[in-house]
Amino acid sequence: MELEATAIDIGTSRPLVLLNTTDADELGAHPLDRVRIRWNGETVTGIVKRTDELVEPGTVGVTEPLHAVHGAVDVKLAGTPRSVRYVRKKLDDVELEPHELGRIVQDIHEHRLSDVELGAYVSGIYANGLSLEETKHLTEAMSAVGQQLSWDAPVVADKHSIGGIAGNCVTPIMVAIVAAAGLTMPKTSSRAVTSPAGTADVMEVLCDVEFSLAEIEEIVTETNGCLVWGGGVDLSPVDDEIIRAENPLSIDPPGQLMASVLSKKRSAGSTHVVIDVPYGEGAKVESLVAARELADDFKRVGDHLEMDVCCAITHGTDPIGRGVGPALEARDVLAVLEGDEDAPESLRLKSLRLSELLLEHCGVDASAAEILESGKALERFRDIVAAQGGDPGVCADDLEPGAHSTTIRADRTGLASRVDNRQLCDLARRAGAPLDSRAGLVIHQTATNAVEVGDPLYTIHAETQSKLEEAEALADRLEPIRVRSKADALVERR
């Protein structure tokens, strides 16, 4: 069918082809079918969207990935990508071959799968899981797509947490300590998936996080480290597409999680990686047995990729730090680095423990505590913030939370018997985090604290009154910090 192509912007990165219903009927094209467009001796493929209003008969609209296409074009129906068959196999719980996983990764990278098909892929992984062999080959395929960083240093340090713990922002502190110890640590981090703040969201409160590869190399050459958004430099870009599909479902299945983490690390040129695997009620991994299994699998996949991976299995029952949300977590980070006596001790201790482990793992004889207490870590962190375009003089007291707030208080006397990370994260997200950087929670109690009637449990901060009211309504239905009598609390903690 001969049509006239015109560019249309409907706010999508998908290669959509908008056909008027009349033309679509004549072509026999249904929603989400593929069409092949021949133009100027070239051929491109797009996903069909039918419309009565956005384009006139005789015209085909093309979205941003296809904007080079214009003028007279020939439009024909195209077949479904082979990877869709492989997605169906995974939905049927059939183990995929390496070439099948590679084809899925390539088609995701080339935007050949519709949002529905991408959603089916992550649903199949969530429902039926990935074998260890599938995870190895998927990680390898994902890391082979996109750009790669390489470094002259023989040892390149890295760290990742699988997430799920409120306020667990140890990464900026670790990078400052490890870089101050002389190691190269180019940290590429993600934005939030199911949490109220990823490391990139936290750092964006203080400085820029989107840089080109050349700019990252310059920052690392100057400071030994960086804290940037990995999606901004096309490192394992398929991971970002998969995360986009996982977000609405708030899922992060183990096999895909490992492929996501380690494909990014391999693309970033990391040689020695520490993975933080928190476990406990309300965490992503709830049992010690499951945490050990996941840690073993991380190590096996790392060996397959020739990366030296070790895991720290940490308690994930309680939040780390007091703030939950980008600005509130950034405030905690600065307080620890500044040596503030009121800085959250849980965040300081976990940052030191993981830093010591990473230094030892990389064969460096240095004391993380000494580097932190001497002010060298703070100095290096300020260097990194300055190199990334931020204010190196920013202090914890400079960061104000959202002006709209309410404090939830205890309605009984007893002990805080349980703190639910998942519910705290849900509340912070309902308040607007991470998109509203100053939204989130401040946690006033941890498990086993003695609590009196009227004592503050947590404070919700939002940037708008409407978001605060939404979070309050959710808080009425949840109990993220449970207060029970001392006798009942001791029974629950056993």
Instruction: Report how far residue 209's alpha carbon sits from residue 227's, in angstroms, rounded to the nearest whole number.
Output: 7
User: SS3 for 122?
Assistant: helix
**What does 224-269 look like in DSSP terms, one character per residue?**
SEEEEEGGGGTBSHHHHHHHHHHGGGT---HHHHHHHHHHHHHHTT
Residue pair 61/47 in contact (Cβ under 8 Å)? The answer is no
Cβ contact 1:58 at 8 Å: no
Look up residue 244 and give its two tokens.
């986009």
Q: How many CB atoms lie within 10 A of CB 78?
A: 18
Task: Give me the half-sphere count of Cα atoms (radius 13 Å) on the Cβ side of residue 350.
Answer: 29
Catalytic residue selected from 158, 252, 332, 436 = 252
- Catalytic annotation present for 252: yes
In 3D, which of 88, 122, 416, 420 has the Cα closest to residue 252? 122
- For residue 455, the one-letter residue type is D
| CB-count burial class (<10 Å; 0-12, 13-18, 19+) for 306 | exposed
Relative orientation angle of helices 115-128 and 82-91, to the nearest 10 degrees:
30
Q: Could you give the CA distance from residue 428 to residue 417 in angstroms, rounded to a whole number?
A: 21
Q: Are 17 and 61 in contact (CB under 8 A)?
A: yes
User: Quick check: helix, strand or coil at residue 77?
Assistant: strand
CA distances from 431 to 283, 303, 434, 460 (A): 20, 41, 9, 7
Catalytic site residues? 252
